[in-house]
């Protein structure tokens, strides 16, 4: 059996061009959906949650995805965040220190209570793996809309809780197992 190399090259080139074109179109469509909310499209998926060895504290792990030109929004945690950039480029902005530029493969650490914002400054959807050791009686994430003057300093103005300290997801969090079950049920009803 002889292989027609010219035909093989032509068909594989068309396939590669088609795949690249589809990827470019999906990125263009994502960029075209510009809303006024800079956090639009940001997802946080709860991967696991377990009691920590320290009584009253939890170890929580999430996968955060931030589309191009979007950001997580200013927020804080009631414990430390240890993270890793799986894919993408992030400018981690802080209220009390200079910003930190992070790229694929970079680890990061955010101390308890520090207000921060992860801004996607790259060309792909950023994926971050974040692990927290937090006070289990407090919400995992508290968003901050701004600050107000109290006494001699600024105090964050909170917009609410994104996840309770208990095992109930609220807002943009959805445990991975529950999301997969929901997707399975949706596909089953369509078929």
pTM metric for this prediction: 0.62
pLDDT in tens, 41-82: 999 999 999 999 999 999 999 999 999 999 999 999 999 999
pLDDT of the chain along its 191 residues, tens only?
555 555 544 544 444 444 444 444 444 444 444 557 888 999 999 999 999 999 999 999 999 999 999 999 999 999 999 999 999 999 999 998 999 999 999 999 999 999 999 999 999 999 999 999 999 999 999 988 655 444 555 555 444 444 433 333 333 444 445 555 565 666 666 65
pLDDT in tens, 157-167: 444 444 433 33
Domains of the chain: 43-162 (2.60.120.10)
- The answer to whether 129 touches 84, Cβ cutoff 8 Å, is yes
Rg of the chain over CA atoms, in angstroms?
A: 21
């Amino acid at each position: 059996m002889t292989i027609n190399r010219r035909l093989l090259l032509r068909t594989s080139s068309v396939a590669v061009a088609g795949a690249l074109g589809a990827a470019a179109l999906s990125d263009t469509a994502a960029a075209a959906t510009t809303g006024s909310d800079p956090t639009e499209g940001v997802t946080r998926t709860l991967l696991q949650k377990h009691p920590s060895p320290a009584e009253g504290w939890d170890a929580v792990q999430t996968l955060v995805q931030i589309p191009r030109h979007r950001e997580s929004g200013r927020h804080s945690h009631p414990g430390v965040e240890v993270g890793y950039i799986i894919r993408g480029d992030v400018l981690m902005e802080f209220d009390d220190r200079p910003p930190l530029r992070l790229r694929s493969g970079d680890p990061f650490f955010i101390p308890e209570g520090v207000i921060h914002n992860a801004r996607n400054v790259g060309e792909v959807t950023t994926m971050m793996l974040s692990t927290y050791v937090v006070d289990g009686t407090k919400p995992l994430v508290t968003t901050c809309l701004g600050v107000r003057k109290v006494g001699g300093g600024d105090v964050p103005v909170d917009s609410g809780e994104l996840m309770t300290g208990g095992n109930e997801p609220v807002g943009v969090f959805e445990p991975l197992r529950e999301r997969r079950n929901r997707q399975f049920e949706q596909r089953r009803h369509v078929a």
